């Protein structure tokens, strides 16, 4: 079945550092890919999405590019802030399926 | 911005009892979902619902689970005879009318279910 693998956390960075959170996937067909973020005490919020190969999703300074050749969708941000501290989930929905398949989540901690 | 709302935020229930988790999806959305997250584990898909019937369900969604849209606004998940292993955070989500693969799912804040 479909699966998503994310780098293990927690990831601890200083403010203004460059962020990469790796995400790779296995899926049948051509999935759509998503990054969700969960701030403490809140639900999952959509951060960005990409629906076909080479699409780049972007939002709030975060970016991720759908790489079909490497089955990856790595999340990047050029300069992180303390307010970016949260858990980040990579997810996909495969062709013909309804439900999202999630990675385990990566806990990001940004220190001032 | 429209939100998915879930109630209660925390539910404590004795093992073997029935529990109903409630959700109000975004008003113009047509697809509804339930997910769960056992502490320390992945968010897992349970079921999707469209046009007043189950569209897809996972292996987790066995006979003890059921879903219902009792009126035009609520979407409920019922667990008939709860077990200790049902303790988890349960998330409701909804998405719009267009093809599912292109429409992101919007999540509520979740209901934490604790089975004693």
Are A43 and B107 an interchain contact pair (Cβ–Cβ within 8 Å)? yes
Are B48 and A99 an interchain contact pair (Cβ–Cβ within 8 Å)? yes
Q: Can you tell me the distance from the alpha carbon of A53 to that of A36, in angstroms, rounded to the nearest whole number?
A: 19
State the SS3 of B56-77. Answer: EECCCCCCCEEEECCCCCCEEE
Instruction: For residue A94, say if its preceding peptide bond is cis, omega within 30 degrees of 0.
Output: no
pLDDT tens-digit profile of A77-106?
999 999 999 999 999 998 777 899 999 999
How confident is the model over B3-23, as a mean pLDDT? Answer: 95
76-105 in A: which are within 8 Å (CB) of B? Answer: 89, 91, 93, 95, 97-105
Q: Is 90 exceeded by the pLDDT of residue B41?
A: no
Of B70 and B24, more confident: B24
pLDDT tens-digit profile of B66-112?
999 988 789 999 999 999 999 999 999 999 865 555 688 999 999 99
> Is residue B15 within 8 Å of B115, Cβ to Cβ?
yes
What is the percent of chain A where pLDDT is above 70? 100
pLDDT tens-digit profile of A15-29?
999 999 999 999 988
Q: Can you tell me the distance from the alpha carbon of A53 to that of B64, in angstroms, rounded to the nearest whole number?
A: 40
Torsion angle of the four alpha carbons A59, A73, B94, B50, in this order, in degrees rounded to the nearest 10: 140
pLDDT category at B18 given cuts 50, 70, 90 is very high
**Per-residue confidence (pLDDT) for residue B100, from 0 to 100:** 55
- Considering all CA atoms of chain B, what is the largest pairwise distance in Å, rounded to the nearest integer? 41
Closest chain B CA to residue A95: B101
> Is residue B18 within 8 Å of B82, Cβ to Cβ?
yes
For residue B8, the distance in angstroms to the closest alpha carbon of chain A comes to: 14
A51 inside 8 A of chain B by CB: yes
């Amino acid at each position: 079945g479909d699966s998503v693998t994310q780098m293990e956390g927690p990831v601890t960075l200083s403010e203004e550092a460059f962020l990469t959170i790796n995400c790779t996937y296995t899926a049948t067909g051509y999935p759509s890919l998503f990054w969700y973020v969960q701030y403490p005490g809140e639900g999952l919020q959509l951060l960005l999405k990409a629906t076909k190969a080479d699409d780049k999703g972007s939002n709030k300074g975060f970016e991720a590019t759908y790489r079909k050749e490497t089955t990856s969708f790595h999340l990047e941000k050029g300069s992180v802030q303390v307010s970016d501290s949260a858990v980040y989930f990579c997810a996909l929905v495969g062709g013909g399926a309804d439900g999202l398949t999630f990675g385990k989540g990566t806990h990001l901690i940004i220190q001032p | 911005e429209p939100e998915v709302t879930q109630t209660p935020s925390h539910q404590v229930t004795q093992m073997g009892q029935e529990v109903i988790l409630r959700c109000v999806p975004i008003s113009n959305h047509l697809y509804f979902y339930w997910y769960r997250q056992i502490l320390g584990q992945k968010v897992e898909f349970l079921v999707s619902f469209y046009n007043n019937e189950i569209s897809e369900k996972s292996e987790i969604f066995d006979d003890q689970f059921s879903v219902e849209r009792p009126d035009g606004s609520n979407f409920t998940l019922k667990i008939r005879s709860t077990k200790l292993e049902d303790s988890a955070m349960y998330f409701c989500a909804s998405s719009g009318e267009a093809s599912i693969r292109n429409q992101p799912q919007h999540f509520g804040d979740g209901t934490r279910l604790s089975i004693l």
